[in-house]
Amino acid sequence: MNAFTEAAAAAAGQPGTARRVLVTGTSGLLGRAVAQLLHERGYAVRTLQRSAVRDPWESVQGSVADPDVAASAVAGVDAVIHLAAKVSFTGEWTDFVSTNIVGTRQLLAASQHAGVHDFVFVSSPSVAHFGSSIVGAGAGPANPDLARGFYARSKAAAEQLALAEDSPAFRVTAIRPHIVWGPGDTQLVERVVERARAGRLPLLDGGRALIDTTYVDNAAGAIVRGLERMEYAHGQALVVTNGEPRPVGELIAGICAAAGVPAPGYSVPGWLARGAGSVIEKAWTAAGTRGWVHDEPPMTRFLAEQLSTAHWFDQRHTQSVLAWTPSVSIDEGLAKLAAYYRAQR
């Protein structure tokens, strides 16, 4: 009996329906938090990621788009929480298709063949963001034709694939956490801090756009609740946030203060950043395909839209379905972030 089956046996008889859970994409901040929370709640956890990691649970290494890897990863589990994705502002469309669309399709097929009961697809509100402001909305339908950028388009297509498989025998829900951040975050926090430190982080339109974000512990908690409340959540897409919309400039200033770097001191018109972002992103992608560039571009049209348009969401339906509320406020999260940076120093 391995660690996974021992944990599953120990968890048997505890409250809940799915006790053996596969979590994909645990090399990222949110995936790790989800796996850790499941582990703490007594679930038997198996993880799947491309690179080898040292975890207190069983781990499978490989690509989610590989049918053999997917089949091995889902063998013997009751439920899947699928976070693995290619997340980038730039890149080749075929790379997004391979991981985000083909990978999701392979995992869905393998899960159904293995008799998995529940499937939580971790999506993004960007699948229903088409460039204009979102003000107090719920989870609109995913639309790969209108979503902005390769990441959002591919995630929209993957969400459609996942929800199309929902049935009484194979329940599927899509959880869309919005702008997840916290200590150790390399997707948002680290980029903000590095660019602010270098003086390369402008505000767009004075940083006035009102946006929602999600502290990582809250995002992980909501995702796990999506699994535990599958009876009510299946067949639906649910946007998850802290429910505390704030001006983007205020949030960026809070992150900078936590890290001990100067906040942005200048502003650029949003229309100008959007236009420049389109040009930069095309040039950056072309250069990257020849091996010249290994980092994200300083601006893309998608990023400019995110920084210059309002996007905050009505959380009443999400919180009702999940019987969940955030446990960490924005201010508490910033305090945790500041403590993390003090420890680093």
Coil, strand or helix at 39: helix
Q: Is 340 a catalytic residue?
A: no
| DSSP conformation letters of 97-118 | IIIIIIHHHHHHHHHHHHT--E
Residues 6 or more apart whose CB falls under 8 angstroms from that of 105 comprise: 158, 161
Count of beta carbons in the 10 Å neighbourhood of residue 10: 12
| DSSP bridge pairs for 45 | 21
In the block, residue with structure tokens 């429910």: 243
199/72 Cα distance (integer angstroms): 47
The residue length of the chain stands at 345
Q: Catalytic pick from 43, 151, 232, 340?
A: 151
**Per the structure block, which two tokens stand in for 60?**
């499978």
Sign for the CA dihedral angle at 339, 330, 212, 159 comes to positive
Catalytically active residues are: 151
